[in-house]
Amino acid sequence: METTIFPTPARIGFLSANRPMSRCFQPKYGRFAVVSVMTPSTSTNSTLKTEATNSYNIATTTTNTIYNDNWFDRIAIDYLSKAIQDTTGMRNEKNGYESFVVATRDVFRSFDPTEQRKLVMKALQNAIPTPISFLVKTMMPPSKFSREYFATFTTIFFPWLVGSCEVRESEFEGSIERNVVHIKKCRVLESTNCAGICTNLCKIPSQEFIKSSFGIPCNMVPNFDDMSCEMIFGQNPPTLQDDPAFKQPCYKLCNVKHKHDTSCLPKPLEDIKSNRD
């Protein structure tokens, strides 16, 4: 096995009284990508590949991103982790991002899909008080400005949660807007290797929270092949029955697979159907 470390430059924040607020603060964010390529000793090919079977993905190589969380990142991580633990009443003794990951795994293992989404929604509402979200919703009704603002805000203040991300353009009602957040490799998905945690504890609650709290639709489109994701502000997500994310089997290396089989996702769909019946 060969291991290569590729350093990437840190993004250094700045303050400027003459710039818009969305650009006034950028947390320091540096990382090292550690790429371990498992190949026969006689091979010189280091191309990253991912093979898939009918039931789950088998990673022939592993890529682990090491994050150097700064003071802002650590405060935000601890705050969200504590909000989840306070909501569920399930404590853990871990620190930093590991504490957040353990908190999400505890929710996934202990509650059914409907309860999972409700608990995460409640945790998000506790983390961002209603008066704040109501003020933002009132001052920023749906518009090109608000959609682009939310996209920019996400890339500045939430890399600690989802990893490196950037704003991209898309067509919205016949015009081009910068309303898409492209997450290069989701930190949550990489940390858990679980499609069920991605959909039930991140995608669905986040979409519902953004819509109900800020009045703007958001469709999160995960790519389980490369662990990237797109948040499309202004776009309504499909129904759960039609959402491709709920047809994706889980990873062979899923860190919570003892709770479920090779697929995390049939149960949520069955749960939805039973509720409607």
Domains of the chain, by residue range, sit at 71-276
Distance between CA atoms of residues 173 and 164, nearest Å: 28
* Cβ contact 84:103 at 8 Å: yes
Q: Is it the case that residue 110 has pLDDT exceeding 60?
A: yes
CA 161 to centroid of chain Cα atoms? 7
CA 202 to centroid of chain Cα atoms? 6
* Cβ contact 159:29 at 8 Å: yes
- pLDDT tens readout for residues 132-143: 889 999 999 999
Lowest-confidence segment of 50-64, 165-179, 238-252 by average pLDDT: 50-64
Distance between CA atoms of residues 245 and 264, nearest Å: 11
pLDDT on residue 32:
40
Choice between 97 and 19, residue whose per-residue pLDDT is larger: 97
Q: What value does the mean pLDDT take over residues 82-105?
A: 94
* Residues forming beta bridges with residue 59, ordered by sequence position: 50
Q: Which residue has the tokens 């039609």?
A: 242
- pLDDT tens readout for residues 172-200: 999 999 999 999 999 999 998 888 899 99
pLDDT on residue 250:
77
Nearest in space to 203 (alpha carbons), one of 121, 148, 275: 121
CA dihedral sign, ordered 70, 71, 73, 78: positive
